[in-house]
Amino acid sequence: MSAESTPRREVVTGEPRRVRPLPRYRAQSEIDEQTALGGAYVRSLMRSQLRAGLTAFAGLALAAGTLPLVFEALHSNAVVWAVLGFATYPPLTLAGWWYVRRAERNERDFARLVEGRPAP
């Protein structure tokens, strides 16, 4: 916790919230009104996100599924120590970082699709 997290007290006024602004893009209104086309948009985003998640999950499951067998076969405490004590944590964080980048890219691509902008 640092000093900068103590906020100065000041009055903040936001811009007035409209109850239901008109959708800016055609695709967004399709999604908002839950038409078949809008549903298809959402499904495509879910599929790409699920694919990213399952890729990371497959890697993790493969490692966690085989490591106990490998340890059993090697019968070496030094290896167990080195792998479980130290070596697993960096790959776990890196896998998380990779997933976040993929997921945010999927969302950016989706926003571009909805707003009708061309891919860069």
Q: Which residues of this protein are in contact with another protein, per CB under 8 A?
A: 1, 5, 20-21, 23, 28, 31-32, 34, 38-39, 42, 45-46, 49-50, 52-53, 56-57, 60, 64, 68-69, 71-72, 77, 80-81, 84-86, 88-90, 92-93, 95-97, 99-100, 103-104, 107, 110-111, 114
Nearer to another protein, 73 or 119 (CB): 73
Query: Counting beta carbons within 10 angstroms of the beta carbon of residue 89, is it exposed (0 to 12), middle (13 to 18) or buried (19 or more)?
Result: exposed
Nearer to another protein, 84 or 117 (CB): 84
- Chain Cα centroid distance, residue 106: 9
Beta strands in the chain (DSSP E): none
Q: Percentages helix, strand, coil for the chain, rounded to the nearest 5?
A: 70, 0, 30
Q: Match 């967004």 to its residue by tokens.
A: 28
In this structure, what are the phi and psi dihedrals at residue 43, rounded to the nearest 5 degrees?
A: -60, -40
Closest distance to another protein from the beta carbon of 40 (Å): 11
Closest distance to another protein from the beta carbon of 44 (Å): 10
Closest distance to another protein from the beta carbon of 72 (Å): 6
Contact 118, 111 (CB under 8 A): no
Nearer to another protein, 19 or 119 (CB): 19
